[in-house]
Amino acid sequence: MAIITQKFTNKTHFGLKVIKLCFIVNGKLNGGVAYGIVGIRNRTPNKMTNGWRYTVKKLLLATTISSLLAGNALAQDNAQADTQDAAETKKDYEKIVVTGTSRARLVAETPQSTTSMGAQEVAKLSMSSQADVLRYVPGIKVEGGGGEVATNLQVRGLPSSGQFQFTPLLYDGSPTLSAFGLNSSAYDVYYRNDLGIERVEFVRGGVSNLFGQGSVAGVINYLSKKGTELSESTVQLELSDNNRKRIDFATSGPLNEKGMYYAMSGFYRYDEGPIDTGLPTEGYQLRGNIHKEFDDGSGYFTIYGQAIDDEVQFFLPLPLDSQSRERVAGNDGREVESTQTFYASGLSYDTADGRYRTPIEEGVATRGGSISMEFSKDLGNDYSVLARAKYASYDHQFNLFLDGDGIINVPETQSEYLANRGLDDLGAAEFTYAGTDVVLPEGDLLFANRILDRDRPATDFSSELNVVKYLDVGDFSHSITVGTFFSSAEAEDNNVITRYLGEFNNQARLVDLTITDADDNSVIVSQNGVTGPGISFSDTTISARRTAFYIADQMQNDDWIIDVGLRWEEIDGTITREGSETVVVNDDPILYEDLQVNVTGNGVLTHGKVDNSELAYSIAALYKMADNFNVYANYSRGFFFPELRGVAFNPNGEPGSYESEIVKQAEIGAKFFFNDFIGTMALFKTDLEDRRSVDFVNDENGVAVEVPVFQSTEAYGVELVGSYNITDDLIFDANFTYTDHEFTEYDSDPSVIGNELRRKPKIMFNSSLRYTLDDWDISFYHNYHGKNYTNDANSVELDDFHVFRLDTGYTWEFGQGERLRASIAVWNLFDSDGITEGSPRLGNSQTAGESYFVGRPILPRRVSLRLRYDF
């Protein structure tokens, strides 16, 4: 992981003189409060300095220094600061990155790809989900069409991972959950972003990714604000169309006069959009930390806490026009934006275990919290230690509407519905709105769908310990880190699928179906809208214990920076699955056979244990060609342990193979840093071997089952990142990624070999243009998503699309650090209709040319008004 601070060089900042090799910044802020920073950079290797080592005596900044968007190595003062001062100082400081745990470096002097985004940009971009922020990070492709959670995230060169599989999501250096694949819930269902975020960092490759939880593909780390001796507070009110109301707060300051500080943040949010299903999103989160600086300046101790109680609606693909891929009209003539409906709330039916009631109205529900600690101390004799530990426990459900009934999946006429299910020979059919005698108009379309209820409680413990030794050998100074990581996680995955029938409309009413045969006997096919009570049941508990040891050496002299490291890790997984059976719960002949039976657990448990161990290593080097030009290269060989939920059992009840997925990455590039322009150019190659991808695919009965797919892939490409100060007030940022990728192995279907990876565009481009003038600011963001295929068979191509965002605001200063900013933020400014995916549950069977296309559009335009008061 990476930690960012700031460096000032050769200029006057806030009226204070700073020199290049040694800087001393001190002065007074509002109210006469003093602050100071002392730092030394020793170009000659020295045990005590080892590059940049700094002591922060008192850092009390009245404004937030925010990093530029999309990996820029240049930052900008808070827009509320004096514009002229910001323009002068903007060019005078660069970020310093602490790669791993032991060595602070400039971004320009880091032999890897590193991106940071500061608090101001995170706050501006946060509209709904993680995708809002991360889509502008170079080399990352995210899909936020599902709403606030379960962001589908891909890293350049690697396949569609589906929700952070290759990139752990960390908060303050500790993993949200330490093992992915115990179930299919994404990391972001457990945490939400708020005003307490100081910055987000994304680091790819290098020895940094060998530490802690580890991930050679990269680590996303959100870092929280901590208190200082200056008390600061923020309150923000947000109002949006589709009845969204959200209030955020953040507050921090000293707890006492002995170096102890607090910070707390949180939000409450109620939202009926961005797509109105009649099922609102509602909930809150609280986060905070207590930070203690040791009196002798040798380190710190921090305790973090989080509590969450939140319910979020998740949006799935829906039937679209087969040619234009646009939304189609429902029975009432309005475009259908979602097939989800509040009329399905509380659906219930008899089972062998009693009456079952679906909790679908709760959506993705998370209740619980976490507590963690971080300890850092200089031990003397050129040794230091860093330790972290975290415990989390959540009651979690991921309830969702699927994209069809698993059989037809698109709207049908009433006669088509009967014929497609062999019901047209039974007799005369009558479709009525559920619970009424009102008959559907003859021309109205029907849409059969499923509800998937998933109960997934989880607990997690993780810990990390690093010991660092600083020493000089010859011309190089070394920072040697030896560390260990341990985690123990357990999660359940209990699933029930219910099939129902409804009309084809927004917030569709449920439909009952009764068929009368020639002998005037009635047969109920749909009762209270239910056509399949519990057509599938599964009950699984999975635990994982991970143990890792790693060692790395980060070394440098005047011209060279070299990093080498390796990691050994072992995983032990335990899987317990209950079998299922079909039982008769009601043999009333008036009920159609599908309503008489229910699938439930049979009490037969299958236990399995798997284990594996693997080695990862990394080497990277950077050479300083000139004062403003560095070249670098890195290579890593890493691994991923397959998702434990994808482990299959043999007929004799023993688990199948559990082989490592090996990823090899290489990158070579150059970093430029001039007065008005900073940029990076890189070539990269990535190979992934023996990947076990787990897909949800409809089987012949319309049940969504998990199917492991074994594959290998390779990719290569180029990435360009740049930031240009057009004027002191106008800044342009851009990043461009081109990736050529293909399958090199595909066990289940060799014809796929040579195809492009699914849902992975070859071209991604982001840009932003930001202008600040006195108290007014405006930011304009653009995201381009290239063409891609919806499945591995490459049978359906998805068009490219553009998404534009606007944020503009005006700030009133009231003195004594008080200010009010009123702003308008617009997501999807031009209301683009891009498609992020087809139907994953149709897999390679989804084809073009049908009467409908099942796909998930990007979210529609949304406008938010924000009032933020800082005091």
Q: Render pLDDT for 804-840 as a digit per residue (tens, 0 to 9).
A: 999 999 999 998 889 999 999 999 999 999 999 998 8
Dihedral, 685, 691, 697, 700 alpha carbons, nearest 10:
130
pLDDT of residue 8: 31
pLDDT of residue 162: 64
Q: Which amino acid is at 494?
A: N
Q: Render pLDDT for 115-137 as a digit per residue (tens, 0 to 9).
A: 888 888 898 888 788 888 888 99
pLDDT of residue 518: 85
pLDDT higher than threshold 70 for residue 380: yes
pLDDT confidence band for 101 (50 / 70 / 90): low
Contact 377, 298 (CB under 8 A): yes
pLDDT of residue 335: 96
pLDDT higher than threshold 60 for residue 406: yes
Average pLDDT (380-388) is 96
Query: For the stretch 510-538, what's the b/e string if a residue is b when 16 or more beta carbons lie within 10 angstroms of its beta carbon?
Result: bbbbbbeeeeeeebbbbbebbbbbbbbbb
pLDDT of residue 166: 82
Q: Render pLDDT for 2-24 as a digit per residue (tens, 0 to 9).
A: 333 333 333 322 222 232 333 33
Q: Render pLDDT for 256-295 as a digit per residue (tens, 0 to 9).
A: 988 999 999 999 999 999 999 999 999 999 999 999 999 9
Contact 157, 685 (CB under 8 A): yes
Q: What percent of the chain has pLDDT over 70?
A: 88
Please name which of 147, 700, 704 lies closest in space to residue 402, comparing C-alpha atoms. Answer: 704
Q: How far apart are CA 705 and CA 11, in angstroms?
A: 62
Contact 870, 809 (CB under 8 A): no
Structure tokens at 435: 């619970």
pLDDT of residue 97: 53
Residue 749: other Cβ atoms inside 10 A: 14
pLDDT of residue 21: 33
Please name which of 432, 320, 430, 347 lies closest in space to residue 851, comparing C-alpha atoms. Answer: 320
Tracing tokens 């922060």 back to the chain, one arrives at 56
CA of residue 795 relative to chain centroid, distance: 28
CA-to-CA dists, residue 456 to 398, 402, 577, 814, angstroms = 7, 18, 14, 49
Question: Is beta strand 169-171 parallel, antiparallel or unpaired with respect to 219-224?
Answer: parallel
pLDDT higher than threshold 80 for residue 75: no
pLDDT confidence band for 177 (50 / 70 / 90): very high
pLDDT higher than threshold 70 for residue 39: no
What mean pLDDT, rounded, does the chain reach? 87
pLDDT higher than threshold 60 for residue 346: yes
- Name the least confident of 144-158, 489-503, 743-757: 144-158
Contact 144, 803 (CB under 8 A): no
| Complete DSSP assignment for 793-824 | T--SEEPPEEEEEEEEEEEEEEETTEEEEEEE
Domain boundaries defined on the chain: 2-423+431-870
Q: How far apart are CA 504 and CA 410, in angstroms?
A: 9
pLDDT of residue 103: 67
pLDDT higher than threshold 60 for residue 82: no
Structure tokens at 27: 């002065």
Contact 281, 313 (CB under 8 A): yes
Please name which of 501, 512, 500, 503 lies closest in space to residue 332, comparing C-alpha atoms. Answer: 503
Average pLDDT (503-532) is 95
Compute the Cα dihedral for 219, 220, 226, 230 and give only its sign. Answer: positive
For the domain made up of 2-423+431-870, the CATH class stated in words is: mainly beta
Tracing tokens 């699955």 back to the chain, one arrives at 577
pLDDT higher than threshold 50 for residue 28: no
pLDDT higher than threshold 80 for residue 495: yes
Average pLDDT (221-241) is 96
pLDDT higher than threshold 50 for residue 628: yes
pLDDT of residue 73: 30
Q: Render pLDDT for 569-617 as a digit per residue (tens, 0 to 9).
A: 999 999 999 999 999 999 999 999 999 999 999 999 999 999 999 999 9
Q: What is the pTM of this model?
A: 0.87
Q: What percent of the chain has pLDDT over 90?
A: 71
Q: How far apart are CA 851 and CA 445, in angstroms?
A: 14
